[in-house]
Amino acid sequence: MRKRSLALLALLSSSLFLAGCSSQELRGFGFEEGLSSVNDASLGLWQGAWITAAVVGLITMILIIWPIAFHRKKNEDFPKQTQYNIPVEVSYTVIPFIIVAVIFAYTARAQNEIKEVTPLSSQSEVVHDITVNGFQWSWQFTYQEAGPGRTVTGTPAKPPTLYMPVGEKVRFKITASDVVHGFWIPAFMIQIQNIPGVENQIEFTAKKVGTYPGRCNILCGRQHSQMLFNVKVVSVSEYKSYIQSLQASEDEQIQGANA
Ligand SMILES: [Cu+2]
């Protein structure tokens, strides 16, 4: 028995090791802390939900294993039959209700924080505007600061790069040309649907310089898996010079790979 549990432990730890999880990712259950404002709002909820699930799972497992181990058939006597146990029935109704209510409250709080968008009229803080349009089979990024027509368009062969200034808010307008797509930056814990004829909005701040993969996460057709892009979080001055390079560009339609 002890050998088996040791083997199980070795298997578990090696699988975590092989999965390439850093200690920080392990703590964040697969996500790194402090990468974006959305990630700040969601990570606690994500960790809390997993811990709750683990505790509930453990208690359930004990409740199953305990009677199997200690209340096996002992003799041929017909066991005592019990009907209705009001305290047990009340507790298994009330406890899950409390768990769901607590998770719901934290979810609603995080969601309100994530959905908050600075009004267009607000002059008090720097907010950049980028439109993200999904189409079969890539992405178009339009930076309002670069002026009209300066759209970066990707292709499956040349996935586009989305530039974001570190530490400054970006207000995204999310649209689609044909079918529903899903703008997804896994590391930032962000997912919002691109819906034809609808303009969704999300605003967030990237907090750490680096390059992060982006994907489409709504099955949108044959080449859905090729709808990739990169998010490049750069310093504010680098972002400005990128916008200037877009303005200086001769082409109306800028290929994603140039970006
Ligand atoms: Cu798509």
Confidence at residue 28, expressed as pLDDT on a 0 to 100 scale: 85
Same domain, 132 and 251: yes
Listing DSSP states for the chain in one string gives -HHHHHHHHHHHHHHHHHTT--HHHHHTTT--TTSBHHHHHHHHHHHHHHHHHHHHHHHHHHHHHHHHHHS---SSSPPPP----HHHHHHHHHHHHHHHHHHHHHHHHHHHHHH----TT--SS-EEEEEEEEETTEEEEEEGGG-TT-EEE--SSS--EEEEEBTSEEEEEEEESSS-EEEEEGGGTEEEEE-BT--EEEEEEB-S-EEEEEEE-S--STTGGG-EEEEEEE-HHHHHHHHHHHHH-S-SEEEGGG-
Tell me the CA–centroid distance for residue 82 and ligand 1, in Å. Answer: 56
Tell me the CA–centroid distance for residue 5 and ligand 1, in Å. Answer: 44
Q: For 64-109, write each residue's pLDDT tens digit.
A: 999 999 988 888 888 888 888 999 999 999 999 999 999 999 999 9
Could you tell me the pTM of the whole model?
Answer: 0.81
Q: Tell me how many domains the chain contains.
A: 3
Task: Please report whether residue 231 resides in a domain.
Answer: yes
Of the residues 51, 83, 115, which one is the last residue of a structural domain?
115
pLDDT bucket at 257, cuts 50 / 70 / 90? very low
End-to-end distance of the chain based on CA atoms, in angstroms?
59
Tell me the CA–centroid distance for residue 132 and ligand 1, in Å. Answer: 12
Confidence at residue 122, expressed as pLDDT on a 0 to 100 scale: 72
Higher-confidence position of 200 and 3: 200
Same domain, 160 and 47: no
Tell me the CA–centroid distance for residue 112 and ligand 1, in Å. Answer: 26
Tell me the CA–centroid distance for residue 185 and ligand 1, in Å. Answer: 13
Tell me the CA–centroid distance for residue 246 and ligand 1, in Å. Answer: 25
Tell me the CA–centroid distance for residue 239 and ligand 1, in Å. Answer: 26
Q: Which residues are placed with Cβ below 5 angstroms of ligand 1, an ion?
A: 181, 216, 220, 227
Same domain, 252 and 139: yes
Give the residue numbers spanning the domain of 252: 127-258
Query: What percent of the chain lies above the pLDDT cut of 90?
Result: 70
Same domain, 94 and 109: yes
Same domain, 82 and 153: no
Distances (CA, A) of 87 to 91, 93, 200: 6, 10, 48
Task: Please report whether residue 121 resides in a domain.
Answer: no
**Cβ–Cβ under 8 Å, residues 142 and 242:** no
Tell me the CA–centroid distance for residue 157 and ligand 1, in Å. Answer: 15
Supply the CATH number for residue 181's domain. Answer: 2.60.40.420
Tell me the CA–centroid distance for residue 191 and ligand 1, in Å. Answer: 12
pLDDT bucket at 259, cuts 50 / 70 / 90? very low
Task: Please report whether residue 249 resides in a domain.
Answer: yes
Phi, then psi, of 61 in degrees rounded to 5: -65, -45
Tell me the CA–centroid distance for residue 171 and ligand 1, in Å. Answer: 21
Tell me the CA–centroid distance for residue 181 and ligand 1, in Å. Answer: 4
Task: Please report whether residue 203 resides in a domain.
Answer: yes
In this structure, what token pair is assigned to residue 48? 């809390």
Tell me the CA–centroid distance for residue 220 and ligand 1, in Å. Answer: 5
Same domain, 25 and 36: no
Residue 17 half-sphere exposure toward CB, CA atoms < 13 A: 6
Same domain, 146 and 237: yes
Confidence at residue 126, expressed as pLDDT on a 0 to 100 scale: 74
Confidence at residue 6, expressed as pLDDT on a 0 to 100 scale: 63
Is pLDDT above 80 for 1? no
Supply the CATH number for residue 59's domain. Answer: 1.10.287.90
Tell me the CA–centroid distance for residue 104 and ligand 1, in Å. Answer: 30
**Cβ–Cβ under 8 Å, residues 232 and 211:** yes
